[in-house]
Amino acid sequence: MSTTVPSEQTSSTQTNGTHSASSLPQETLDFAGKVFNLAREGGDELLSAYVGAGLPPNLMNEKGNTLLMLAAYNGHASTVRILFSKGADLNRLNDNGQSPLAGAIFKNEEEVVRTLVELGADPRAGTPNAIDTAKVFKRTEWLDLLGTTEEERNATPHEVFGISPGGA
């Protein structure tokens, strides 16, 4: 189960059964902002305590980024491990279809990439997936670790994003 906190910013629309930010108490919004910042900053002890006390491990912000996604994108391998041990989904995609592993590759967060792969993250989840991200951003050192097939390795960026050489 995942829970979406409508916004770290302000939002007034209600979608998919989530409460709009205007209907939530300010203290709830402040707490959500604090929790998302803990994930960005690697606040392992507090995040572990909050999730242990019932905070959903797959809590998402208004962009669909989970706590694990924010930790991965910001280079916090230990936070990724803690969140995973508490039930966070390694392959949960954000609203742009991006996975935590693809985000870590994009940011070239070596320890996080290795941690996510070790924990079982799917390198083919998302669009672009982690393999495609490694190729597009010329981070080819990751292709072996990701278990890239010869066909995937030889695909051109046009094939990666489904764009024909003549245009979209």
Return the residue matching tokens 């929790």: 35
- For residues 29 and 50, give the distance between their C-alpha atoms in angstroms, rounded to a whole number: 15
Confidence of residue 140 (pLDDT cuts 50, 70, 90): confident
Give a yes or no: residue 101 inside a domain. yes
H or E segment to which residue 65 belongs = none
Q: CA-CA distance, 54 to 91, in Å (whole number)?
A: 21
The per-residue pLDDT for 3 is 58
Question: Chain centroid to CA 104: how far?
Answer: 8
Number of domains composing the chain: 1
Tell me what pLDDT residue 15 has.
44
- Looking at residue 21, its pLDDT comes to 52
In the predicted model, what is the mean pLDDT of residues 48-67?
95
Judged by average pLDDT, the poorest of 2-6, 42-46, 100-104 is 2-6
Within-domain flag for 39 = yes
Separation CA 78–CA 64 (nearest Å): 21
Can you give the pLDDT at residue 160?
59
pLDDT value of position 78: 99
Residue 118 lies in a domain: yes
C-alpha 26 chain-centroid distance: 26
Count other Cβ atoms within 10 Å, centred on residue 82: 23
Residue 73 domain flag: yes
Would you state the pLDDT for residue 161?
60
Residue 168 belongs to a domain = no
- pTM (2 decimals)? 0.81
Q: Is residue 94 part of a domain?
A: yes
Q: Tell me what the mean pLDDT of segment 20-32 comes to.
A: 78
**In this structure, what CATH number is given to the domain that contains residue 130?**
1.25.40.20
pLDDT recorded at residue 92? 98
* Structure confidence at residue 64 (pLDDT): 95
CA pair distance 5, 125, nearest whole angstrom: 24
pLDDT (0 to 100) of residue 47: 97
Inside any domain, residue 146: yes
Mean pLDDT, the chain, rounded, equals 86
* Cα–Cα distance, 36 to 73 (Å, whole number): 12
Tokens of 45: 């002890």
What pLDDT score does 162 carry?
Answer: 59
Contact criterion met (CB below 8 Å) for 12 and 25: no
In this structure, which amino acid lies at residue 121? A
| Residue 138 placed within a domain | yes
Query: Residue 158 pLDDT more than 60?
Result: no
Q: Which residue range(s) make up the domain with 107? A: 21-160
What pLDDT is recorded for position 154?
87
